[in-house]
Structure 1
Amino acid sequence: MTQQQKRTLITGAASGIGLATAQRLAAEGHALALVDLNAEGLQAAADSLPAGTRSLLCPGSVTDAADVTAAVETTVAAFGGLDGLVTSAGIVRAAASFDVTPEAFRQHLDINVMGSWLYAQAAGRAMAAQGGGRIVMIGSVYGSAGAPMRAAYCASKGAVHNLVQALAVEWGPLGIRVNAVAPTGVRTPMVQDLIDRGQYNLAGVRARTPLGRLAEAEEIAAACRFLLSDEAAMITGHVLPVDGGWLANGYTTS
């Protein structure tokens, strides 16, 4: 894979971390399959990539098994294989736990967990057939620590982290590496929407984070690029925090 163009599929590619990852990988010459429910945003994402980027647009839902299968099969047919997968599609909704409906809780599981699982399974089959590949899922610091008003989100990201470990153990002998990146708050449209609605404690996150700020989507993309690369050839089954020291901090004073 080091001597041929790498072929990578990214979900949630129309904005935020997914878009930043697409732009980072395109700059390094990857052929990209871009997946998002937002077809218009997906086209805008493709238009933002460097001239000459090989890109394939796959509008559809990460929770629809037929959409997932079609996207992976189309990618393999178009590019001749699939080397990397980044599952960036996700949601977060803030609500008091007593007020979370079964439908709202299930939506977090469907998009954040099932969406990652369906794409990992479909891509994993293609990777196994060709002798290996690399999968990176987007987790969260809230997959390793709790937060008020985020019960469904925390549960879903914790499941993603454990899914990474399970698949890494099972698929390692097939040459497939599986890891996750766990960001703190990232300056994306999704987080900005929470801030605008007063549902994100920006001051509190900054106070707990030793580096004192939110992450940028490009910083998460850089971590994804590393885990997809040959430089990470001996890394699998791990969750890489990109959190400015958030998880390490046991002594918040302000």
Structure 2
Amino acid sequence: MQPTALNGSVALVTAASRGIGRAIALDLATNGADVALGVRDTESATELAAEISAMGRRVTVVAMDVTDLPSCRRAVDDVIADLGTIDVLVNNAGGGIVEDALDVTEEHFDSVWALTTKSTFFVSQHVARHMRTAGGGSIVNVASQAGLVALPGESVYCLSKAAVIHLTKCLAVEWGQYGIRVNAVAPTFIETDGTAPALSDAAFRTDTVERIAALHRIGQPEEVAAAVTFLAGEGASLVTGTALPIDGGWTAR
């Protein structure tokens, strides 16, 4: 196998079984990383694990519900025990609700915050303790353009992703002294199972394509994955504390 950007690295990807997470895991493996797949249901990652193994990469699957922090810490420890280290962490897990801000309940608010923001903080914290001892590493948070602009009906999701973007800056500043880089990507609407219901509405899709102001098309998971791999690797060795929009020009408008 030819040397690649991440050859010999070990990467942990949360919510890795489908959509953007799956694309990230595959791209990291293609670029030389051994990969740990953090998923709620380990059976959901069987096919993906086989695909990565067929590339000649080591792969492990760990049960990881990011809203259950004790299980997350155990999963991280299991990855280190199995693969020896974690050089790259990709916090991909997240989600939101579509609901008018006047109707959001405390329960809905807390569920989005726990899934998207609290998990990113505490999973990063646990992995970073290992990275500090190991001499460094790279953390990439999957934020969203929703953290950069206002999306009607998605106030809680926008808030949670804005918090992830600012958290990225805070952790980059604190942890740079340990050789840990922390960055984020902020994708626009991407063609996945999760966005399919909304994008299947013709009027919504047309409006979305129009708002993607420069390229006027919906993104693909592989386009997000390529950016994550860049930020994770040595090609971005002087990049930290940044949130890279993968948005076709939406936020440039």
Q: Taking structure 1 as the reference length, what is the TM-score of the superposition?
A: 0.93
What do residues 172-207 of structure 1 show as CA deviations (whole Å, max 9, x unaligned)? 0110000000001111111113334x5992221110
Say if 1:87 and 1:138, in contact at 8 Å, map to a contact too: yes
- Identify the range of structure 1 (79-88 vs 90-99) with the bigger mean alpha-carbon deviation: 90-99
Residues 193 and 43 of structure 1, relative CA distance in 2, 3 Å threshold: farther
SS at match of 1:189: coil
2:100 to 77, 85, 96: 96
- Identify the range of structure 1 (98-107 vs 151-160) with the bigger mean alpha-carbon deviation: 98-107
Question: Once the two structures are aligned, what percentage of the paired residues are identical?
Answer: 36
Question: 1:3: Cα distance to partner?
Answer: 8.8
Aligned to 2:43: 40
- Identify the range of structure 1 (31-40 vs 213-222) with the bigger mean alpha-carbon deviation: 31-40
**Amino acid in the other structure paired with 1:239:** A
1:233 to 234, 237, 244: 237
Say if 2:17 and 2:48, in contact at 8 Å, map to a contact too: yes
SS at match of 2:195: helix
2:113 to 109, 114, 123: 109
Alpha-carbon separation, structure 1, partners of 2:215 and 2:7:
38
Aligned to 1:54: 58
Aligned-residue Cα RMSD (Å) equals: 1.8
- Identify the range of structure 1 (92-101 vs 228-237) with the bigger mean alpha-carbon deviation: 92-101
What do residues 216-245 of structure 1 show as CA deviations (whole Å, max 9, x unaligned)? 000000000000010000000000001101
Residues 31 and 145 of structure 1, relative CA distance in 2, 3 Å threshold: same
1:24 to 27, 30, 52: 27
How many aligned positions are there?
A: 248
Structure 2 gaps, min length 5: none
Aligned to 1:14: 17
Structure 1 gaps, min length 5: 250-254
Alpha-carbon separation, structure 2, partners of 1:199 and 1:89:
28
1:67 to 64, 67, 71: 71
Alpha-carbon separation, structure 1, partners of 2:45 and 2:5:
28
Question: 1:125: Cα distance to partner?
Answer: 0.6
2:152 to 148, 163, 181: 148
Say if 1:11 and 1:35, in contact at 8 Å, map to a contact too: yes
Residues 203 and 235 of structure 1, relative CA distance in 2, 3 Å threshold: same
Say if 1:36 and 1:89, in contact at 8 Å, map to a contact too: no
Say if 1:63 and 1:118, in contact at 8 Å, map to a contact too: no
Alpha-carbon separation, structure 1, partners of 2:9 and 2:162:
30
Q: Taking structure 2 as the reference length, what is the TM-score of the superposition?
A: 0.93
Q: How does 1:211-226 map to 2 (within 5 A)?
A: 211-226=215-230
Alpha-carbon separation, structure 2, partners of 1:3 and 1:116:
23
